[in-house]
Structure 1
Amino acid sequence: MRRTAVRAGVAAWVVGVLALGAVGCGASAADDEDPEQRSFSLHGTTLTVDSDDSALDIVATDGTPKGTVRVTRWFKGSVLIGDEPKVSWSMTDDDRLVLRLHCSGFVADCAAEHRIEVPRGITVKVEDRDGSVRARGFRDPLDIRTGDGSVHVTDTSGPLTLRSGDGSVRAEVASRDVTARTGDGSVRVSLSAVPDRVRAVSGDGSVSITVPRAAYRVSTKSGDGSVRVTVPRDDRSTHLLDVRTGDGGITVRPAN
């Protein structure tokens, strides 16, 4: 009887813990009403953002002093059994901003978000292993790579390289050189200036390109999906649109 009672007590405790975890699931960094802020010195003209698990909002602005990177951090987290969750940030001598989230244990639930403000004239490279990335305001080269999360870039005219292993990729920009690629998700590129080159690729998802009216050299390939091209085509054009998807429709159209 005693063993049965012990087993029943343990089972009830496990059920209770799991129920508590279910109720507490879904931490949101936006719930942090008192975000932390910090400035880091930038020695060169290229910033690398190295993040393991955070949503990122990256802004190029005239309001940020040269040689300075401003970071605002939101964080919410809880661990029922295990080490206290925490976040860390640091800048290395070679201008690598390292953002880390430490959250492990039984019923661990954490979320972090960072807004990174950089001065104009800075090339930015982003390496985010898990998290969405938004960016705006860039006139200089911008290279964003995330393993799992969406990418969205606006108000930008510099060269773009955007890659997601699993997530949608969107760009509403004036860049003349754009590479947008995702392993699983849609790709949407809308340009307000005639580009020299656009390469848009999805392993599994639709791809849509909208460009100003001009003649383009267009290359398309879809493994399984419709292809609709309504821009003027010229195989001798210096403006190249290369659009591919493994499974999904392709649309290449002029802006209204």
Structure 2
Amino acid sequence: MARTSRTTARTTARTARTRALALAGAAVVLLAGLSACGSSATEDDEPDRRSFALPGSTLTIDSDDSDLEIVAVDDRPSDRIEVTRWFRGRVVMGSDAEITWSMDGDRLVLRQKCSGLIVDCDARHRVEVPRGVAVEVREKDGTVRATGFRDALRIRTTDGSVHVTDSTGPLELRTGDGSVHAEVSSRTVRAHSGDGSVHLELGVVPDLVESRSGDGSLTIELPRATYRVDTETGDGGEDVSVPRDDSSTHEVTARTGDGNLTVRTAN
């Protein structure tokens, strides 16, 4: 009887191991398939669109995992924003992929739920904002692109690049891991990257530029004028070719921890 019990136990154990190996093999095959043809939000040919009421002249966009495009427009009511979203998601051995959007006062909340043993999700949002609205963006994981702002714009990302164009309002751009690129005519620009390059192209003589890169190159291109320039590099070359005057009211501060630093006159 004892021998029969031991035999049954060994058989059960072998069966369990066989099933585990089979499941692991299936997971590897599925993962390889997903990797070969990953989901992309650009494949969504029928994006969702929704209009949200905006109670005031400020907007905060709170996103956890989505690429964002923020556009200031003239042809929109001053008390509403328009949001378009693209989404593709596949989950194996987990709950269904889900994406949500909601408005809480002046705060637009964008969330993505994509959890399981094997997941493949991608989201993108375009937010159209009426002129005259100051915008703050808080993005955890995703790139942010913004254009057309005359009012204050603040963008912070944990992991993702930032690119701003055609804007004249005050800018504050920060990313923990990603590049920062701005082609603007703003008179006040603050740009910081923990791990990534910073490239600023100014179309007007600024009053203040503050820029920092922890690990990456830093380039500032300025209109022809005289500037009060303060620079520091930890490990990298430094090239400052703009005219300098410590009494100038146009202040430029640039810091790099590990990367080349360039401050030059724009062509």
| Structure 1 alignment gaps of length 5 or more | none
Aligned with 1:254 (options 237, 260, 265) = 265
- Match of 1:119? 130
Question: What is residue 30 of structure 2 aligned with on the other side?
Answer: 20
Tell me the amino acid that sits aligned with residue 17 of structure 2: R
Partner secondary structure for residue 10 of structure 1: helix
The equivalences for 1:76-225 within 5 A come to 76-93=88-105, 95-225=106-236
Supply the AA of the counterpart residue of 2:167: T
2:59 maps to which residue?
47
Q: Which residue of 1 aligns with 2:68?
A: 56
Identity of aligned pairs, percent? 56
Structure 2 counterpart of 1:42, which letter? L
Inter-partner Cα distance in structure 2 for 1:40 and 1:18: 42
What root-mean-square deviation, in Å, do the aligned CA atoms of Structure 1 and Structure 2 show? 1.1
The aligned residue for residue 70 of structure 1 is 82
- Aligned to 1:233, the other structure's residue is in SS state coil
Partners of 2:16 and 2:107 lie apart in 1 by: 53
Distance 1:247 1:160 in 2: 24
Distance 2:231 2:99 in 1: 44
| Partner amino acid, structure 2, of 1:166 | D
Flag as ranges the 4+ runs of structure 1 deviating above 4 A.
none
The answer on 1:7 being equivalent to 2:20 is no
Alignment-derived partner of residue 242 in structure 1: 253
With structure 2 as the length reference, what TM-score do the two structures score? 0.93
Displacement of 1:5 in angstroms is: 5.2
Deviation at 1:83, TM superposition (A): 1.2
Number of aligned residue pairs: give it: 255
**SS state of the match for residue 205, structure 2?**
coil
Deviation string, structure 1 residues 34-89 (Cα, Å, up to 9, x no partner):
10000000110000001111110000010222111000000111111121111110
Q: Deviations over 1:123-164 (max 9, x none)?
A: 000011111100000000000001000000000000000000
What runs of 5+ residues in structure 2 fail to find an aligned partner?
A: 1-9
Provide Cα deviations, 1:177-227, integer angstroms capped at 9, x if missing partner.
000001000000000100000011011111000000100000110000000
Measured in 2, the distance between the counterparts of 1:64 and 1:35 equals 20
Question: Which is helix-richer, 1 or 2?
Answer: 2
